[in-house]
C-alpha cells in the first residue's frame, strides 16, 4: 500500500481490473463500476481510516443505523475528458457544500470540503482511464455517506461511513421525456427533507414514478404537497419553462426543492446572456394556459445525470399536452451545448467552474 501526503489515504490497487471488459458503445446508466472506491470512517468525532481499495461489496452489521432509520445521503457529479486528455470536474466544491447541507439536515457528520476534494481527486487519478472521450460520455461519480453505527436505539448515529464510487455512463435519457403531472402523491413537504439529497426522498418517489412509467411516462412532474396546485420539480431533475421569452423555474424558498447545481448554472448563464429569469411559483393553470396560448416555447429538466432533458409532452389532468418541436427550441439547445463545451474544455471557462484533475 502507498499513502498520500495530506490525508494519509492508503491505496490498494486492484489486481484484477475490468476496464477492458466494458463495452463503451453500450453504456446503460449505472451498470458498470470503475476498478476502485474510496472509503473513510467517522468515529470518535474524527474521520479516520481513509483508503482507496478495489471496488467490491462492503460488510455491515444487521443493526446498522442507516438500514433502520434512514440516515443516508449522496451526491451526483461527473468527470469529463477534454480533447488534450485532461480530466475535468464541474463545480465539485458545490457538491461538497451540498453534501454538508444534507448532512446537517439529516443530523449526520459533516466532511471538510478540502477532504472531499482530495479524496475525489485521488480516486479519479487512479481510475482516469475510465473517463471516456466518446461524445456524450462521462464518468458519473457517486459520493455518499451513511450511518454505520450498530445500534437499534432511535437517535443520531455516532459513526458514519463516507464512500465514493464511479461508473462510466452515456446519456441518461435517449430522447425527449414524457411527464405526468402528479396531484396525489408528494415528493416532499414543507419542513421535511426536500432540500437535502437524502436517500429517503428518492424512496418516497419510487411508487408514484412506477405507476407513471407503467402508463408510458418517464417521470412525475411534482406539485406542492399542500394544495397540489404549484409545480416543484420532476423526478430527478429541476424543471424549467420558457414563457414569452422569459425563463421561469420554481423558487427554492419553500424548502421542498433540491437546489440543483445544474439549475444554478443555467440561471447564471441566462443572466450572462441577458435573458430574463424568474424564480417564482408557477401553477398548473399557468402552465396549461401557456401551452394553450403557445406562449410556452420550451420546457426542460436539468440535473447532473440528465444535464438537459427536453420535455416532449406533459399529462395535465388526464390530457397529454404536446410541446413545441425540440429541434426548434433555442435556449435549451444552446445552453445544453454551452454546458457541454465548458465541461469538456471546449469553451472558455469564464465562470471558473471547471476543476482539472492533476495528472
**Contact (CB, 8 A) for 219 and 208:** no
CA dihedral of 68, 71, 72, 73, whole degrees rounded to 10:
160
Q: Is residue 213 part of a domain?
A: yes
- Give me the pLDDT at residue 25, please: 87
Question: Within this chain, do residues 149 and 212 fall inside the same structural domain, yes or no?
Answer: no
Each residue of 196-243: pLDDT tens digit?
Answer: 999 999 999 999 999 999 999 999 999 999 999 999 999 889 999 999
Question: Within this chain, do residues 228 and 104 fall inside the same structural domain, yes or no?
Answer: no
Task: Please say if the pLDDT value at position 263 is more than 80.
Answer: yes
Task: Please say if the pLDDT value at position 4 is more than 60.
Answer: no
In terms of Cα–Cα distance, which of 178, 166, 76, 91 is closest to 129?
166
The last residue of a domain, from among 119, 137, 169: 169
Count Cβ atoms within 10 A of the Cβ of residue 48 and give its class: 0-12 exposed, 13-18 middle, 19 or more buried. exposed
Query: E strands within 35-118?
Result: 36-43, 46-54, 72-74, 77-81, 87-90
Each residue of 139-176: pLDDT tens digit?
Answer: 999 999 999 999 999 999 999 999 999 999 988 888 89
Task: Please say if the pLDDT value at position 3 is more than 80.
Answer: no
Tell me the average pLDDT of the chain. Answer: 95
Question: What is the domain count for the chain?
Answer: 2
- Give me the pLDDT at residue 26, please: 86
Each residue of 128-141: pLDDT tens digit?
Answer: 999 999 988 999 99
CATH number reported for the structural domain that contains residue 14 in this entry: 3.30.470.10
Mean pLDDT, residues 68-93 taken together? 96
Q: Is residue 229 part of a domain?
A: yes
CATH number reported for the structural domain that contains residue 213 in this entry: 3.20.10.10
Question: Within this chain, do residues 114 and 246 fall inside the same structural domain, yes or no?
Answer: no
Residues above pLDDT 90, as percent of the chain: 90
Cell 426543492 locates to 257
Q: Is residue 357 part of a domain?
A: no
Question: Within this chain, do residues 17 and 115 fall inside the same structural domain, yes or no?
Answer: yes
Question: Within this chain, do residues 106 and 217 fall inside the same structural domain, yes or no?
Answer: no
Mean pLDDT, residues 15-29 taken together? 91
- Give me the pLDDT at residue 6, please: 61
Question: Within this chain, do residues 165 and 183 fall inside the same structural domain, yes or no?
Answer: no
Amino acid at each position: 500500500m502507498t499513502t498520500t501526503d495530506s490525508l494519509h489515504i492508503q491505496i490498494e490497487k486492484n489486481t484484477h481490473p475490468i476496464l477492458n471488459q466494458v463495452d463503451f458503445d453500450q453504456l446503460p446508466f449505472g451498470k458498470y463500476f470503475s476498478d476502485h472506491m474510496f472509503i473513510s470512517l467517522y468515529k470518535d468525532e474524527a474521520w479516520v481510516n481513509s483508503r482507496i481499495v478495489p471496488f467490491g461489496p462492503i460488510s455491515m452489521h444487521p443493526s446498522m443505523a442507516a438500514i433502520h432509520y434512514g440516515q443516508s445521503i449522496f451526491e451526483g457529479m461527473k468527470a469529463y475528458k477534454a480533447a488534450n486528455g485532461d480530466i475535468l470536474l464541474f463545480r465539485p466544491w458545490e457538491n461538497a457544500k451540498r453534501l454538508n447541507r444534507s448532512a446537517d439536515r439529516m443530523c449526520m457528520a459533516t466532511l471538510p470540503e478540502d477532504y472531499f476534494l482530495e479524496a475525489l481527486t485521488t480516486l479519479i487519478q487512479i481510475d482516469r482511464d475510465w473517463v471516456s472521450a466518446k461524445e456524450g460520455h462521462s464518468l458519473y461519480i457517486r459520493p455518499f455517506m451513511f450511518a454505520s453505527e450498530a445500534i437499534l436505539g432511535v437517535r443520531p448515529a455516532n459513526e458514519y461511513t463516507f464512500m465514493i464510487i464511479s461508473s462510466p455512463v452515456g446519456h441518461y435519457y435517449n430522447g425527449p421525456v414524457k411527464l405526468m403531472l402528479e396531484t396525489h402523491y408528494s415528493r416532499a413537504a414543507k419542513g421535511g427533507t426536500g432540500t437535502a439529497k437524502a436517500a429517503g426522498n428518492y424512496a418516497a418517489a419510487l411508487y408514484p414514478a412506477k405507476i407513471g412509467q407503467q402508463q408510458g411516462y418517464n417521470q412525475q412532474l411534482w406539485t406542492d404537497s399542500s394544495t397540489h396546485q404549484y409545480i416543484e420539480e420532476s423526478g430527478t431533475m429541476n424543471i424549467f419553462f420558457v414563457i414569452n421569452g422569459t425563463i421561469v423555474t420554481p423558487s427554492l424558498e419553500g424548502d421542498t426543492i433540491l437546489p440543483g447545481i445544474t439549475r444554478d448554472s443555467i440561471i447564471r448563464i441566462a443572466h450572462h446572456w441577458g435573458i430574463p429569469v424568474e424564480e417564482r411559483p408557477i401553477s398548473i393553470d399557468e402552465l396549461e394556459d401557456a401551452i394553450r396560448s403557445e406562449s410556452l416555447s420550451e420546457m426542460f429538466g436539468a440535473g447532473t445525470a440528465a444535464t438537459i432533458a427536453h420535455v416532449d409532452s406533459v399529462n395535465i389532468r388526464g390530457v397529454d399536452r404536446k410541446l413545441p418541436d425540440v429541434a426548434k427550441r433555442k435556449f435549451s439547445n444552446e445552453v445544453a451545448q454551452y454546458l457541454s463545451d465548458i465541461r469538456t474544455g471546449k469553451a472558455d471557462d469564464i465562470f471558473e467552474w471547471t476543476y482539472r484533475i492533476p495528472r
